[in-house]
Copies of this chain bind each other. A is one copy, B any other.
Amino acid sequence: MEQFYPLLSARLKALILELNGKKIAVVGHARPDGDCIGSQVGLTRVLRALGLDAVCINADPVPRRLQFLIRETEFIRAEDVLPIASDYTAIFVDCADSERCGKRLQGAFPRPIAMFDHHISNTGFAVHDFIDVGSAATAEMLAGMFVDLGYPIDADAAQALYTGILTDTGQFMFPSTTRRTFLLAAELLVKGAHPSEAGFQLYERETMGKWRLVEAFLKSLKLECAGRLCVGILPRSVFVDTGSTSEDTEGLVDYARSIEGVDVGALIEEREDGTLKASLRAKDSAYRLDRIAAMFGGGGHACAAGLSLQTDTKEFYGKLVTEISKQIEIVNGEGST
């Protein structure tokens, strides 16, 4: 049978031997997403099925929408593990750098024994780095190696890894989706993954507050830069007014980006503490949103970046439009760097 990750799988096999007898902490990143929780649950369950002692550790709680993945898998919050951190051998998943797990966990586990990640910016920080930037999700890497090695994937692990792939590929629609992604989805279904249950849990358990928030965001949408930038603003009181939570802002910026002719979508959120948070999404990496965000002290990827700063909304709005206009001109070939 074809091997999905021949080199990484051979290294994972060696790592498993090295882990024998250790208490393992599978550490995810702060503000965990589907690929993070899915990878944590998938890896932890497979390690346990192999006879190893493993638990999941996070700085932040598992979001409501992802709690269906937990089942009997043990999740421990950072504060409870810090006093006994030295008992654990850490494996980081889906963290582009060691700081992504949160400052306290980074301090507790300065050099994890292993790390599994697919982010392009990851330069390695563990004793054994497992990085594959051609993978659509960390969960895809893990699933591929587990299948390669014939490791036992139970139905809960399969569902978790499947959900990691589903969410990190934008439902199999991001450019990172490959033949391997689909072949592994097929394998995970055989092991017990349940696509419609995942779809239900992720996208059919919305609240009326969430839709009121979407309504408010859509109402605020404005086109700038001759229709190539679309910006929406969430005012300070919006969560109270709509009965929504800050977790509900996830995916909102996609409404702005997904309009025909719009190249960049932006969401500006006025926070209770007086700061502004902005999310930027582009249809093409040429817009280098990582650079735009960096101008305001933020960062991220070329197509998806964010920032947080102390400023006035109107002032920031103007500056953002100016900077994105400049970038659009550069992309048009009408300007110069």
Copies in the complex: 2
A282 CB to nearest B CB, Å: 11
Chain A interface residues toward B at CB < 8 A = 166, 170-175, 177-180, 182-183, 185-186, 189-190, 195-196, 198-200, 203-208, 211-212, 214-215, 218-219, 221, 223, 255, 257-260, 283
Flag if B173 contacts A259 (CB, 8 Å): no
Q: CA–CA, A260 to B208, complex, Å?
A: 8
- Nearest-CB distance from A24 to chain B (Å)? 31
B175 touches A172 (CB 8 A): no
Q: How far is the CA of A203 from the CA of B259 in the complex (A)?
A: 9
Contact B196 A186 (CB under 8 A): no
Q: Shortest CB–CB separation between residue A86 and chain B, in angstroms?
A: 42
Contact B189 A172 (CB under 8 A): no
Given A179-B186, A182-B183, A182-B186, CB of A206 within 8 Å of CB of B173: no
A183, A186, A257, most chain B CB atoms within 10 A: A186
**CB nearest neighbor in B for A196:** B175
Q: Are A214 and B205 in contact (CB under 8 A)?
A: no
CB of B260 within 8 A of CB of A173, answer: no
A211 adjacent to B172 (CB under 8 Å): no
13 A-B pairs besides A166-B172, A173-B195, A205-B258 with CB distance below 8 A are: A172-B185, A173-B203, A182-B186, A183-B183, A183-B186, A205-B260, A206-B260, A207-B259, A211-B218, A211-B255, A212-B218, A214-B214, A215-B219
